[in-house]
Amino acid sequence: MNAHPDHLEHPAQVVPFLELFYDLVFVASTMVISNEFSHSANWRVGGTCALMFALLWLLWFHTTVLMNVERRDDLGQRGLVFAQMFMIFVTTLAFVDSDIADVDLVGVGYLIAVLIVAYGHHRIADLPDPVGGWARSRRNRLTVAGAVVFAGILVPDGIDWVLYAIAIALLVLPTSFTSWRGRPVPPVDEHHLAERAALLTLIVMGEAFVKSALVISSGSITGWDMIAVAVLFVILFGLFAAYFDDIPKAGIRAGDLSAEVWLLAHLIMQLSIVALAVGVSKYLQIGDGGVPTKAVVILMVAYAGIFLGLALIGEFSRRSHHAELLTLRLITAALAVAGGVV
């Protein structure tokens, strides 16, 4: 997708209420998944929760890019959005329910959600190129990803993870690669894309406030709690400034791949912000043994991931002199790792 402002297909528009409503399901899903990790904070559960968040995030990614290219708010589009929200919610609950938790059951829910997104692209496949050609290519890839997920449901456990990995690769691979074979790539509404990314970033940042408040309110409030919350506020306000004072204003670099990779880079940062919320909640649960080691490790990984994500996002901005910021962000990520190790 070409992100240069001279190639915008239509003037920038405000994000419609349908997309804002769509984001609500990610408020619930993010909280449920982070709670699952908080209750069983080990590397296996953490990796599985991170994978689940990434899979749901990719549904948001494909839906956001679709709405960016062709913005609709008719009855059919609302039905598809509501159906997708329902499947995301049900799939998340199936993932965390210890009584029914099963990879295949989660796979079925995710398969239906992917096919719903694919059908959303099918609805605009008959439009003139470049939109029609782009929609057909993306529809076909989503359908193939759904077929691979379905195959993973049918094969025995163990082999299915290979197929799920292939499906994830199909979902992550930018559709814009098809332009290398001469296929048209539609232009992007840069303002819309930046606003959508910023709104989801605010949602995951808000989750850190909510999670900390729930942990503190579950017991008596101590002076240590207030110090930890003050530090959390400083971190989040610093993150707010680091992102919102720079990323939306910097724009997106021109190029067929830039817009999608710019948006995909937000996955690293937003997943790390969720991990930050979990780390702070574990940090607040101080017992006689002092600060839990798990909390330090989670906070280290989260802080490093946030600045690695910011560095990658910045690499696909239009800023002419970004080497200094890139260096600063990479150094900050390295310091986070060093601080956690020490």
CA distance 272 to 134: 31
Characterise 37 by phi-psi region: left (phi > 0), alpha (psi -120 to 50), beta (else).
Answer: alpha
Do residue 221 and residue 294 come from a single domain?
Answer: yes
Q: Are the C-beta atoms of 205 and 270 separated by less than 8 Å?
A: no
Tokens of residue 52, six digits: 């689940």
Q: Look at residue 9 and tell me whether its pLDDT is greater than 50.
A: no
CA distance 53 to 60: 11
State the pLDDT confidence band at 117, using cuts at 50, 70 and 90. very high
Q: Are the C-beta atoms of 165 and 140 separated by less than 8 Å?
A: no
Question: Which residue's structure tokens are 């607040």?
Answer: 284
3-state helix, strand, coil in the chain (%, to 5): 75, 0, 20
State the pLDDT confidence band at 46, using cuts at 50, 70 and 90. confident
Tokens of residue 175, six digits: 């559709």
Do residue 108 and residue 164 come from a single domain?
Answer: yes
Average of per-residue pLDDT values in the chain:
83
Do residue 125 and residue 223 come from a single domain?
Answer: no
Do residue 198 and residue 147 come from a single domain?
Answer: no
State yes or no: cis peptide before 130, omega within 30 of 0.
yes
CA distance 306 to 205: 12
Bridge partners for 2 per DSSP: 187
133: amino acid identity, one letter? G
Do residue 95 and residue 24 come from a single domain?
Answer: yes
User: What predicted TM-score, i.e. pTM, was given to this entire model?
Assistant: 0.87
244: amino acid identity, one letter? F
Tokens of residue 323, six digits: 């080497």
293: amino acid identity, one letter? T
Which whole-number Å values give the CA distances from 169 to 58, 64, 141, 166, in the listed order? 11, 18, 11, 5
State the pLDDT confidence band at 13, using cuts at 50, 70 and 90. low
Highest mean pLDDT range out of 26-30, 114-118, 277-281? 114-118
- Out of 159-168, 195-204, 280-289, which region has the weakest mean confidence (pLDDT)? 280-289
Q: What is the pLDDT of residue 4?
A: 47
- Out of 5-14, 196-205, 259-268, 322-331, which region has the weakest mean confidence (pLDDT)? 5-14
Q: How many domains does the chain have?
A: 2
Do residue 101 and residue 35 come from a single domain?
Answer: yes
Highest mean pLDDT range out of 62-76, 144-158, 183-197? 62-76
Coil, helix or strand at residue 190: helix
Question: Which residue's structure tokens are 């560095």?
Answer: 311
Note the pLDDT tens digit of each residue in 279-309. Answer: 887 777 665 555 667 778 888 999 999 999 9
**Of 111 and 214, more confident:** 111
Q: Look at residue 181 and tell me whether its pLDDT is greater than 60.
A: no
- Around 29, how many Cα atoms within 13 Å sit in the side-chain half-sphere? 29
Q: How many CB atoms lie within 10 A of CB 196?
A: 25
Tokens of residue 203, six digits: 């949602």
State the pLDDT confidence band at 41, using cuts at 50, 70 and 90. low
Mean pLDDT across 18-34:
90
Do residue 52 and residue 118 come from a single domain?
Answer: yes
Do residue 127 and residue 263 come from a single domain?
Answer: no
Q: What is the pLDDT of residue 143?
A: 92
Mean pLDDT across 10-17:
63
Do residue 209 and residue 122 come from a single domain?
Answer: no
Q: Which domain holds residue 110?
A: 5-181
CA distance 175 to 333: 30
Percent of the chain with pLDDT over 90: 33
Q: Pick from 149, 181, 213: which residue ends a domain?
A: 181
257 DSSP assignment: T
State the pLDDT confidence band at 312, using cuts at 50, 70 and 90. very high
Do residue 11 and residue 137 come from a single domain?
Answer: yes
Q: What is the pLDDT of residue 58?
A: 93
Q: Look at residue 177 and tell me whether its pLDDT is greater than 60.
A: no
Do residue 232 and residue 124 come from a single domain?
Answer: no
Q: Pick from 159, 181, 203: which residue ends a domain?
A: 181
Do residue 113 and residue 63 come from a single domain?
Answer: yes
Q: Look at residue 182 and tell me whether its pLDDT is greater than 60.
A: no
Mean pLDDT across 179-185:
50
Mean pLDDT across 246-271:
88
Q: Pick from 161, 181, 201: which residue ends a domain?
A: 181
